[in-house]
A and B are shown apart, each in its own frame.
Chain A
Amino acid sequence: MDDLVERFLAGDRRALARIISRVENDTPEGREYLRALFPRSGKTHILGVTGGAGSGKSTLTGTLAAEYRRRGKTVGIVAVDPSSPFTRGAILGDRIRMQDLALDPGVYVRSMAGRGAMGGLAPSIADVVAVMDAFGFDVVIIETIGAGQDEVEIAGTAMTTILVNNPGTGDDIQALKAGIIEIADILVVNKADHPGADVLVSQLQALLSLSPAGSRRPPILKTTAIKNEGLGPLADAVADHYTYLENSGLLAKHRAEDARHQVLSIARQIVLERIRETTSEDELAALVARVAGRELDPHTAAEELAASVLG
């Protein structure tokens, strides 16, 4: 290996950026870097910011990071935007909302393309976050792709998930539905200067009052990120949640579950890669054609494929 790890450990941000690229691209080199740095991770508070497209996630992430800077903390940000399913290209535009942090030496912002991953994240996000964690940021914020009702994967990687809502985007039945709202540790009503903010807060409150007795109720906070309003109380709520996780033993449980999930999903990926390596394109095409022709059902076909590598 080259001197990148040495420079990384000395706090060189260019080395951090280069290592992230290799880890993101999952190159053999990237895996070496991760192997070297992973034992140093596990100290950072990892936050997730999720919510619909245009809900203000990037602006909120930027202003929350600025609040942490006022509190003397360093911040790493990973902002994910979608890739084209056709060309695999992407426009990564989250930095536009974070201009005030552009020259702050205590902040590092990295844009990532989703590259087809599920859940508003990117395939290598957990590895990239581990590298940023190992670099020594006090807080790492993951900003997801605009999420709909069912993108819950962020709660696996992030210890504290902030769900960004906006006034005027649906009645209380939306909030009653299962899915993304269940993973929120903190609910934010952003663009709180718009009409309907207080109505949304009381709808969310009413909904949370239906939670089983004794369960933790996520706090609901109003922010107007673009005017820098409400970020202090939000940073306080994040800190309270971390204390709660530590004291309840949930932090250790979260780490264990995340590790389990990562190991299993990488194992699944390895099996898939082996299948692709041992099956020729022609064999695959022939098998798939039988399924498309309704000769064979997809489960039987998949079992045949798997049997070729699993024995």
Chain B
Amino acid sequence: MSSTTTAQIRVLIAKPGLDGHDRGAKVVARALRDGGCEVIYTGIRQTPEMIAEAALQEDVDVVGLSILSGAHLELFPRIVAELRKRGVDDVLLFCGGIIPEEDTEVLTKLGFSAVFRPGTNTQDIVKFVYEHVKK
């Protein structure tokens, strides 16, 4: 078969909420790009509805959320609810940023398969995506 049209992992990298620092999101997007993924980056200040709608329209396999503002326990449940509302219930979810250790359990229950914190090797994120994606 031709190598140009085989399926590639599609990842949505999104930044919910009001903080405008997307260096981390861009670094992760770039690492996944170099890992061979097709990465849709939507920019900063996304509402839960916008993120869920982008995931639906782009039919992504993976959604990665970056957050530094501390509002993750406020915003992430709303994003998961918006995804479910649209029938997007089979994507791999991960998140990263400034997220306290003690919140991991709540996020895992919510459906996040990994929480990446500052200092993470980007190769570990790429590896995580390839190992856990439901293709």
Which residues of B are found within 8 Å of A228, using beta-carbon distances? none
Given the known inter-chain contacts A25-B7, A87-B33, A109-B57, please indicate yes or no for A92 contacting B87, CB distance below 8 A.
Answer: no
Counting CB contacts under 8 A, is A287 at the interface?
A: no
Q: Is the CB of A89 within 8 A of B42?
A: no
Q: Is the CB of A89 within 8 A of B35?
A: yes
Chain A nearest CB from B36 CB (Å) reads 5
Counting CB contacts under 8 A, is A259 at the interface?
A: no
In angstroms, Cα B3 to Cα A277, docked, is 13
Majority SS of interface residues in chain A? mixed
Counting CB contacts under 8 A, is A115 at the interface?
A: yes
Given the known inter-chain contacts A25-B5, A87-B34, please indicate yes or no for A92 contacting B50, CB distance below 8 A.
Answer: no
Q: Is the CB of B33 within 8 A of A21?
A: no
Which residues of B are found within 8 Å of A20, using beta-carbon distances? 59
Q: Is the CB of B53 within 8 A of A124?
A: no
Q: Is the CB of B33 within 8 A of A91?
A: yes
Which residues of B are found within 8 Å of A87, using beta-carbon distances? 33-36
In angstroms, Cα B58 to Cα A20, docked, is 9
Q: Is the CB of B53 within 8 A of A102?
A: yes
Which residues of B are found within 8 Å of A115, using beta-carbon distances? 4-5, 8
Counting CB contacts under 8 A, is A263 at the interface?
A: no
Instruction: List residues 116-167 of chain A with CB under 8 A from any CB of chain B.
Output: 116-117, 123-124
Q: Can you name the residue of chain A whose Cβ is closest to the Cβ of B41?
A: A93
Which residues of A are found within 8 Å of B110, using beta-carbon distances? none
In angstroms, Cα B2 to Cα A117, docked, is 12
Set B7, B32, B37, B54: member contacting A27, Cβ < 8 A: B7
Number of interface residues of A (CB under 8 A): 38
Counting CB contacts under 8 A, is A88 at the interface?
A: yes
Counting CB contacts under 8 A, is B70 at the interface?
A: no
Set A108, A111, A123: member contacting B4, Cβ < 8 A: A123
Which residues of A are found within 8 Å of B6, using beta-carbon distances? 25
Counting CB contacts under 8 A, is A18 at the interface?
A: yes
Counting CB contacts under 8 A, is A43 at the interface?
A: no
Q: Is the CB of A111 within 8 A of B5?
A: no
Set B36, B50, B86: member contacting A89, Cβ < 8 A: B36
Interface range on chain B (Cβ under 8 Å from partner): 20 to 34
Q: Can you name the residue of chain A whose Cβ is closest to the Cβ of B58?
A: A111
A89-122 vs B: 1/0 string, CB under 8 Å? 1111101100100110000111101011100000
Given the known inter-chain contacts A87-B33, A91-B39, please indicate yes or no for A13 contacting B56, CB distance below 8 A.
Answer: yes
Counting CB contacts under 8 A, is A202 at the interface?
A: no
Q: Is the CB of B8 within 8 A of A88?
A: yes
Chain A nearest CB from B64 CB (Å) reads 13
Counting CB contacts under 8 A, is A272 at the interface?
A: yes
Instruction: List residues 259-301 of chain A with CB under 8 A from any CB of chain B.
Output: 269, 272-273, 276
In angstroms, Cα B35 to Cα A46, docked, is 34
Given the known inter-chain contacts A89-B32, A91-B33, A123-B4, please indicate yes or no for A96 contacting B53, CB distance below 8 A.
Answer: no
Given the known inter-chain contacts A27-B7, A110-B58, please indicate yes or no for A99 contacting B50, CB distance below 8 A.
Answer: yes
Set A17, A96, A113, A124: member contacting B38, Cβ < 8 A: A113
Given the known inter-chain contacts A18-B59, A87-B33, please indicate yes or no for A96 contacting B42, CB distance below 8 A.
Answer: yes
- A residues apposed to B, CB below 8 Å: 13-14, 17-18, 20-21, 24-27, 83-84, 87-93, 95-96, 99, 102-103, 108-111, 113, 115-117, 123-124, 269, 272-273, 276
List 21 interface pairs A-B (beta carbons < 8 Å), by A numbering: A13-B57, A17-B59, A18-B59, A21-B7, A27-B7, A83-B38, A84-B33, A84-B34, A89-B36, A90-B37, A92-B40, A95-B40, A95-B41, A96-B41, A102-B50, A102-B54, A103-B50, A110-B58, A113-B38, A272-B2, A273-B2
Known: A14-B87, A84-B33. 20 other contacts (CB 8 A): A13-B56, A14-B86, A20-B59, A26-B2, A83-B38, A87-B35, A89-B33, A92-B38, A93-B40, A95-B54, A95-B58, A96-B43, A99-B42, A99-B50, A102-B53, A113-B38, A115-B5, A117-B4, A272-B2, A276-B2
